[in-house]
Amino acid sequence: MSIVTKLGSVKDNKEVSKTMQSGSTCQLTGECRAPDRNTVTAGLYLELEEFINGLSQKEGHLVTVLHKAQGLFGYLPREVQQFVADQMELSLAKVYGVVSFYTFFTMVPKGKHPISVCMGTACFVKGANKLVETLKESLAVNVGEVTVDGKFSIDVLRCIGACALAPVMTIGSKVYANVTPDQIKKILEEY
């Protein structure tokens, strides 16, 4: 799917609210629940611009800038990519190429409390796939999707280096170790 269709469908705020009501949350079909663009303040763009101007050189720092941008905006929609491209004097295609290559970068927003389940080898051997199944069931969304209320999203990642505590999952920056499927309900209630 091209970036235009992927991001274009969330560009129009009216359409966003429509998909909100319809309840679909798929990040791949583009029916995503993007936050209201009017609330994305110009201040964030300003901060990003200052960060870019503060770099010793622009060459070779695209990944650095994208990290900063994602830290500020939470995700990297087309407008942000375009802004980065302009500021870094690169083409949008180049920026998109890099954004789509790395799994850390996301072009769609995550839930308020993003859940990531480790599916590295150690966690896999200790039954991490059962956690994913339980989460999918309890939240009624698939991996890569956001819940209808925008509260949670589920992702899988590959090893956070806490393998001795496998299986591991994170919610925001909090790490849960040795998680069993029957603990999931209680953990989710914390939020």
Partner 1 sequence: MDVKKQLRIATRNCGFIDPENIEDYFGVRGYEALANALTTGSPSAVVEEMKKSGLRGRGGGGFPTGQKWAFAAANQADQKYVVCNADEGDPGAFMDRAVLEGDPHSIVEAMAICGYAIGATLGVVYIRAEYPLAIKRLQQAINDARDFGLLGQDILGSGFDFDVELKYGAGAFVCGEETALIKSMEGNRGEPYTKPPFPVSSGYWKKPTVVNNVETFANIPAILIKGADWFSTIGTEKSKGTKVFALAGKIKNVGLIEVPMGTTLGEVIFDIGGGCPNGKAFKAVQTGGPSGGALTFKDIDVPIDYDSLIAKGSMMGSGGMIVMDEDTCMVDFAKFFLDFTMDETCGKCTPCRIGSKRLFEILEKITLGKGTEADIDKLRMLSNTIKDTALCGLGQTMPNPILSTMDTFMDEYRSHVIDKKCPACVCAKLMEIIILEEKCVGCTLCARICPVNCISGKIKETHHIDREV
Using CB under 8 A, list all residues that contact partner 1: 59-64, 66-67, 97-98, 101-105, 118-126, 157-166, 173
- Report the number of secondary-structure helices (H) and strands (E) in the chain: 9, 4
Q: How far is the CB of 158 from partner 1 (least distance, A)?
A: 4
User: Under 8 Å CB-to-CB from 51, ≥6 apart: which residues?
Assistant: 65, 68
For the range 34-42, what are the long-range contacts, defined as Cβ-Cβ under 8 Å and sequence gap of 24 or more?
A: 34/10, 34/77, 34/108, 34/109, 35/109, 37/13, 37/79, 38/13, 40/73
State the binding partner of 168 from partner 1, ligand FES, none, CB within 5 to 8 A by kind: ligand FES
Nearer to ligand FES, 108 or 156 (CB): 156
Between 123 and 135, name the residue whose CB sits nearer to partner 1. 123
Residue 116 has phi, psi (to 5 degrees) of -125, 130
Give the contact letters, 128-147, x = binds to ligand FES (CB under 6 A), - = no.
Answer: --------------------
Residue 101 interacts with, from ligand FES, partner 1, none (CB under 5-8 Å by kind): partner 1
Structure tokens of 36? 């209201």
User: Per the omega criterion (within 30 degrees of 0), is the bond before 109 cis?
Assistant: no
Q: Is 92 a residue that touches ligand FES (CB under 6 A)? A: no
Residues of this chain that interact with ligand FES (CB under 6 A) are 118, 120-123, 159-163, 166, 168
